[in-house]
């Protein structure tokens, strides 16, 4: 009886149809599998072609001496867009429904946009910088307390290098919404130097010496002519302001050269460059009159507090007792 039951149970247990499984695998490999392999090959080849084409475009633009910022950002943007188009075509070729994927991507995009609002503002700032072009690669800028030469401009961040070779990454959103000082925007710049001399110096002679120093430097413009005038009368010195114009690239060369030459020219002409001084006047005060030595003793009692004052002088000693109510 038990054997019959076991036989019936074994007959009712489902078994794997390996033939059906093998047919399904073969069918998938001959249809979707082949498409998947072809898609991977196309993807790899397409990405390599896109990278090569965009690099070639960048080199062509660079050879024509066009704007470096537009060349880099344009090639990077074109590369990303072409890769997105290739991915969309491959997804459709494999047989995945693009409508459902678009809906999922849209819903995910809403959530991501809420989470990365700062990043989206950086993207918008990058677009504004690229379109408005307040600066370009190679310019020396100051913004958000950071100064340096622009090394690269991307859609989300701008990379600058400080004079001491530090790499600084600034979000484009902050750059687009803050003041930007571009020291490289113009071809010429003005150098200003303050020179302090001692009181009593010949003002006309000092001005002649400063003008002669400016005339000696070949990098200084003659038009507009150098400006030298007395600008301040300080506590320890009189100050002269010297302003000259030069090429933007020669700014620091002219600045340091003028400082060095002015110092030596003052020494050669006997003009004193003072240091900060402070005059202190001492006044002798009259000696104070002698004051009597006093001592106070307080004795506690009910109702009133007697105060005993003892005054000692050189002539006599007196005791006085006074009673005062609280």
Do 96 and 49 lie in one domain? The reply is yes
pLDDT in tens, 205-227: 999 999 999 999 999 999 899 99
Residue 101's CATH number: 1.10.287.1260
Q: Per-residue pLDDT for 25 more than 80?
A: no
Q: Residues of the chain with pLDDT > 70: what percent?
A: 70
Portion of the chain with pLDDT greater than 90, in percent: 31
**Three-class secondary structure of residue 184 per DSSP:** coil
Distance CA 172, CA 152 (A): 12
Question: pLDDT class for 299, splitting at 50, 70, 90?
Answer: low
Q: What is the mean predicted confidence (pLDDT) over 271-283?
A: 78
Higher pLDDT, 75 or 289: 75
Query: Could you check whether the bond before residue 224 is cis, i.e. omega within 30 degrees of 0?
Result: yes
Crossing angle between the packed helical segments 98-115 and 117-132, to the nearest 10 degrees: 90
Q: DSSP per residue over 97-160, as a string?
A: -HHHHHHHHHHHHHHHHHHTHHHHHHHHHHHHHHHH-S--TT-EEEETTEEEEEEEE-SSEEEE
Q: Is residue 251 part of a domain?
A: yes
Shared-domain flag, residues 40 and 67: yes
Residue 210's region, left for phi above 0, alpha for psi from -120 to 50, else beta, is: alpha
Do 106 and 170 share a domain, yes or no?
Answer: no
Burial 113-141 (b: 16+ CB within 10 A, else e): eeeeeeeebbbbbbebbbeeeebbbebbb
Per-residue pLDDT band for 228 (boundaries 50, 70, 90) equals: very high
Residue 171, SS3?
strand
243 pLDDT tier (thresholds 50, 70, 90): very high
pLDDT at residue 9, as a whole number: 47
Q: Would you mind telling me the total number of residues written for the chain in this entry?
A: 326
* CA 135 – CA 317 distance, rounded (Å): 91
At 76, the pLDDT band (50, 70, 90 cuts) reads confident
Mean pLDDT on 4-28: 59
Neighbours of 238 (CB within 10 A): 19
- What is the domain count for the chain? 4
- Residue 12: half-sphere exposure toward Cβ, Cα within 13 Å: 6
In which element (H, E) is residue 83 found?
helix 68-94
Which 8-state DSSP code applies to residue 300? -
| Residue that is last in its domain, among 56, 88, 115 | 115
Let me know if residue 124 belongs to a domain.
Answer: no
Residue 122 belongs to a domain: no
What per-residue confidence (pLDDT) applies to 77? 79
Count how many Cα atoms sit within 13 Å of the Cα of residue 286 in the half-sphere of its side chain.
3
Among the residue ranges 16-20, 180-184, 192-196, the one predicted with the least confidence is 16-20
What order do you get walking across the sheet with 238-247 strand by strand?
188-197, 238-247, 227-233
Confidence of residue 97 (pLDDT cuts 50, 70, 90): low
Burial of 19 (0-12, 13-18, 19+ CB in 10 A): exposed
Name the residue range of residue 96's domain: 22-115
Range scoring the smallest mean pLDDT among 89-98, 188-197, 249-258 = 89-98
Look up residue 207 and give its two tokens.
């001005």
Q: Residue 152: CA atoms inside 13 Å, Cβ hemisphere, count?
A: 12
pLDDT digits (tens, 9 = 90+) for 142-151: 998 889 999 9
Q: Is 142 within a domain?
A: yes
Q: Are 239 and 198 in contact (CB under 8 A)?
A: no
Q: How far from 30 is each of 22, 25, 67, CA to CA, in Å?
A: 12, 9, 51
- What is the rounded average pLDDT for all residues in the chain? 78
Is there a single domain that holds both residue 36 and residue 60? yes
Is the pLDDT at 4 greater than 60, yes or no? no
- pTM beyond 0.75: no
Q: Using one digit for the tens of pLDDT, what is the confidence trace for 108-150?
A: 666 666 655 667 788 888 888 888 888 988 899 999 888 999 9
For residue 280, being part of any structural domain is answered with no
The answer to whether residues 160 and 231 belong to one domain is: no
Q: Map residue 224 onto helix, strand or coil.
A: coil
């Amino acid at each position: 009886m038990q054997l019959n039951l076991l036989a019936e149970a074994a007959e009712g247990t489902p078994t794997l149809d390996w033939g059906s499984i093998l047919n399904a695998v073969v069918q998938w490999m001959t249809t979707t599998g082949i498409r998947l392999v072809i898609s991977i090959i196309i993807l790899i080849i397409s990405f390599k072609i896109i990278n090569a084409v965009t690099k070639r475009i960048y080199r062509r633009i660079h050879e024509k001496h066009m704007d470096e910022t537009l060349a880099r950002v344009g090639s990077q943007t074109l590369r990303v867009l072409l890769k997105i188009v290739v991915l969309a075509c491959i997804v459709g070729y494999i047989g995945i429904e693009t409508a459902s994927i678009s809906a999922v991507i849209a819903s995910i995009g809403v959530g991501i946009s809420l989470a990365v609002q700062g990043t989206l503002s950086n993207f918008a700032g990058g677009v504004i910088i690229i379109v408005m072009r307040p600066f370009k690669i190679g310019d020396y800028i100051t913004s958000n307390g950071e100064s340096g030469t622009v090394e690269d401009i991307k859609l989300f961040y701008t990379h600058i290098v400080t004079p001491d070779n530090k790499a600084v990454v600034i979000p484009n959103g902050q750059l687009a919404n803050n003041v930007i000082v571009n020291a490289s925007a113009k071809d010429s710049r003005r150098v200003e130097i303050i020179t302090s001399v001692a009181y009593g110096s010949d003002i006309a002679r000092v001005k002649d010496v400063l003008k002669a120093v400016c005339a000696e430097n070949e990098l200084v413009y003659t038009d507009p002519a150098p400006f030298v005038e007395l600008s301040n009368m300080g506590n320890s010195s009189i100050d002269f302001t010297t302003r000259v114009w030069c090429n933007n690239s020669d700014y620091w060369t002219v600045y340091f050269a003028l400082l060095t030459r002015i110092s030596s020219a003052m020494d050669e002409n006997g003009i004193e460059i003072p240091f900060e001084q402070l005059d202190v006047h001492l006044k002798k005060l009259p000696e104070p009159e002698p004051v009597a030595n006093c001592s106070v003793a307080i004795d506690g009692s009910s109702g009133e507090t007697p105060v005993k004052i003892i005054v000692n002088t050189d002539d006599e000693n007196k005791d006085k007792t006074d009673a005062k109510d609280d």
